[in-house]
Amino acid sequence: MKKAVVTGISGQDGAYLAELLLEKGYEVYGTFRRTSSVNFWRIEELGIQDHPNLHLVEYDLTDLSSSIRLLQASGATEVYNLAAQSFVGVSFEQPITTADITGVGAVNLLEAIRIVNPKIRFYQASTSEMFGKVQAIPQIESTPFYPRSPYGVAKLYAHWMTINYRESYGMFACSGILFNHESPLRGREFVTRKITDSVAKIKLDKLDVLELGNMDAKRDWGFAKEYVEGMWRMLQAAEPDTFVLATNRTETVRDFVTMAFKAVGIQINWSGKDEAEQGVCAQTGKVLVRVNPKFYRPAEVELLIGNPAKAKDVLGWAPKTTLEELCQMMVDADLRRNQAGFSF
């Protein structure tokens, strides 16, 4: 039986990847942090929390000895490093913690692999945030990087260290440059899920107004469940490499808001500019969306769009779910949760 470590199983991608690997017959060692209230709602929603081949392991990415013990105890031959301080907004408030976890943390795992078993295959969760102030459209593997946040800079360090371990020690170390990917399991601090959860609450009269920051930002949004399949394919490839996973379509945050309201039968008309911009319900004339500058970031990534042609050629990977389908899926899940009286 193949054994894999998934760091960050309590997160969106960790939950979907664990589900995929269990379906493929793997024994999965999923790591979580010892915090005051550990929350496994995602693996519970997927119904895998009691799977006999799933082992939940306490672990902190910032601790080298913890990484060494994890690899020794599991005997894993594949390691997927999904753990990170992954919220861009918070990285401006906590740049050093973000560097420790999101940057140096990845090197703890790479070092642990070098010490315990250099044949272990390693996946690093790199990000389109590394392109930041974009130098080419669309972005591909060879597009120059220009990160615009402490998170992006930390991820860029981990990305280059992954390549460095590949080239220096011949390790099978892959870097997946993934563009934004969303799902009903997305954290509510991220914009798509904040929008779909708020739209569900507004539809159910549990919220008056949705407040957002920069609605001009454009993102390439795909479906997370499909992206974890791409991670797995990278570690099954003949050679370790770097791959972009994306949809090659970009939309503004505002477009996503319009789409989410449409999914519950509400048409939004936009008026005003910048901080005075408002989204108004065409049916009732009520203001349902407004700008709150507290959600602005000190520096913004304005436009992301990725071309996943290399992943298609080498891995046979391509996105399938459209943004409209993804948005509907997320809104439906949030309507269900809010009707049932809970929402994570």
**Sheet with 210-212, side-by-side order of all strands:** 210-212, 287-291, 278-281, 268-271
Q: Determine if 212 is a binding residue for ligand GDR (CB under 6 A).
A: yes
Alpha-carbon distance 81 to 31, whole Å?
10
Tell the smallest beta-carbon distance from residue 169 to ligand GDR (Å): 26
Q: Does 162 participate in catalysis according to the annotation?
A: no
Of 26, 59, 80, 151, which is the active-site residue?
151
- Residue 264 carries which DSSP code? T
Helix, strand, coil share of the chain (percent; to 5): 40, 20, 40
Kindly write out the interface string for residues 142-181 of this chain, putting x where it contacts ligand NDP by CB under 6 A and - elsewhere.
------------------------------------x-xx
**Cβ contacts of residue 105 below 8 Å, gap of 6+?**
61, 62, 81, 83, 84, 158
Among 4, 5, 6, 10, binds ligand NDP (CB under 6 A): 10
Q: Determine if 88 is a binding residue for ligand GDR (CB under 6 A).
A: yes
Alpha-carbon distance 337 to 330, whole Å?
11
Distance of CA 341 to the CA centre of its chain: 26
Alpha-carbon distance 248 to 308, whole Å?
7
Residues binding ligand NDP: what is the number (CB under 6 A)? 26
CB atoms within 10 A of CB 342: 8
**Nearest partner of 30 among 66, 64, 54, judged by Cα:** 54
Among 4, 5, 14, 43, binds ligand NDP (CB under 6 A): 14
Residues between 139 and 178 that touch ligand GDR (CB under 6 A): none
Residues between 217 and 246 that touch ligand GDR (CB under 6 A): 217, 219
**What is the residue type of 140?**
I
Candidates 53-61, 139-147, 249-257, 285-293; binding stretch for ligand NDP (CB under 6 A): 53-61
Q: Are 275 and 211 in contact (CB under 8 A)?
A: no
Among 83, 99, 212, 257, binds ligand NDP (CB under 6 A): 83
Q: Which two tokens stand for residue 100?
A: 């420790």
82 binds, among ligand NDP, ligand GDR, none (CB under 5 to 8 A by kind): ligand NDP
**What is the residue type of 184?**
P
Q: Determine if 191 is a binding residue for ligand NDP (CB under 6 A).
A: no
> DSSP E strands: which ranges in the chain?
3-7, 27-32, 54-58, 78-81, 121-127, 173-178, 181-182, 210-212, 218-219, 222-223, 242-245, 251-252, 268-271, 278-281, 287-291
Q: Does 129 participate in catalysis according to the annotation?
A: yes
Tell the smallest beta-carbon distance from residue 16 to ligand NDP (Å): 8
Among 74, 108, 214, 307, binds ligand GDR (CB under 6 A): 214
**Nearest partner of 181 among 13, 11, 9, 10, judged by Cα:** 13
Kindly write out the interface string for residues 202-241 of this chain, putting x where it contacts ligand NDP by CB under 6 A and - elsewhere.
----------------------------------------
Among 49, 89, 278, 299, binds ligand GDR (CB under 6 A): 89
**Nearest partner of 3 among 49, 71, 84, 65, judged by Cα:** 71
Q: Does 157 participate in catalysis according to the annotation?
A: no
Q: Determine if 321 is a binding residue for ligand NDP (CB under 6 A).
A: no
Q: Determine if 61 is a binding residue for ligand NDP (CB under 6 A).
A: yes
Residues between 297 and 316 that touch ligand GDR (CB under 6 A): 297, 300-301
Residue closer to ligand GDR, measured from CB, 111 or 277: 277
DSSP string, 285-303: --EEEEE-GGG--SS---B
Give me the residues that bind ligand NDP (CB under 6 A), please: 7-8, 10-14, 31, 33, 35, 59-62, 82-86, 101, 125, 127, 178, 180-181, 187
Catalytic residues: 127, 129, 151
Binding site for ligand GDR (CB under 6 A): 86, 88-89, 127-129, 179-180, 189-191, 194, 212-214, 217, 219, 253, 295, 297, 300-301
